Structures are given as structure tokens and as C-alpha cells.
Structure 1
């Protein structure tokens, strides 16, 4: 992981210089069942943008999923909550969670940190 990060960071610096465009270093990471992230802090703090998403255990209870996501929202590295329902149209129903509580938590984080975390359009 560290070697990949170093290589892609170097490539991004070169592209930024050559083309004079803004290219962000970012990653989508998994919100683990306990609400923690799958990338270590030393990687996350070097990124410009971090998207956190649930990729497993979609059949967790509504309470468990809500707690999982709210725990993830407390991460200082999180910028965007990715595909908040995990629904795949005509293929998979979304997981159950208290989205009012989740988006209220995201809104509070935005007010307290200036980081906009999620859009309430599910």
C-alpha cells in the first residue's frame, strides 16, 4: 500500500506540473463493521479527499448500520459518504439505516468542522 501511494503521488505531482491542472489524491475506503476505516491514518492524512462507503454486511440491523455509519462520520479524514444506501437498481435493495440521524450527524460535522460530508438526497 505504501509503495502504491508513493508511486501514484509522484505521478500526480508530475501531471499537476505538466498540465497545470488540479488533480486530487483520493481514495474510497470501506467502512468496516465497527465503523472504523480500512486505511491507516498515516495514509489518509496524505490524501486530498476521502470517500467512505459501506461495502459489506448489508443485512445488518437498522440500529447496527446506523451506528456503523455515525461512527465513520466521526473520522477527521472523511470528506464524502459514498453511495449511502448501497442500493443497486433492479439488483439489490439498499440496507436499512436511520438516514435522518445519519444526515443530522453529517450536518453537525459540517457546522463544526467546515467539512461537508454528505448530501441528504438518498
Structure 2
């Protein structure tokens, strides 16, 4: 992977003609960042008992003690629903290492208006 001059300057590197760097984390804005985030989130969701949908790779679900949780993923936006609010609340606790926020009941997501029936 070649890192642009602008990114190198942000890292404090003046010249990289014979320099090799190993990035320990994805840098926001790089084309690989979204994919790396998705891989990290996927690993975490599987680790905490979610299964990836066979028909939509961006949907995960978990059934535990009769409670269903469904998570829709679009880059760094998550849409979470479940049969019990306490399970949804607990889910956000399981992802605390990622500093995710529960924005409450959804009314819009990715430009779509969401209504409850």
C-alpha cells in the first residue's frame, strides 16, 4: 500500500523514499479504513454471539433466551432492533470499546423515514 504525501506529513514524516511504515490502526479517510472497520466490527459481532445473514452481509442477528436482536450495518452506522429494549441497551454495553452511542428511537436512517407499526 502506498500512503500519500499528505498522510505522511500528518504523521510527521518528511520524506519516505526509503522508509517503511507499519500502521497499527486504520487512518480515517484512507480507502482501506472502511473495510478495516467492517472487519473489526464483524469479528466483534461474531465474538458476542451474532450470526451474519446469509442473504445480506450487512445484517446480523442473535437469538438468546427467546430474545431476538437484529443489527443492520452501513459503514459506521448501525440500526439496532430487538424484541426487548433491555437487550438492545445491553448490546450497546457490549460494544463500549468502540464508543458507540444509542441515539434513541430511529425516525430516519440513510435518508429513509422509519415509522413503527
TM-score, reference length from structure 1: 0.32
TM-score, reference length from structure 2: 0.33
Higher Rg of the two aligned structures: 2
Greater helix share, structure number: 1
Higher RCO structure, 1 or 2 (CA under 8 Å, sep 6+): 1
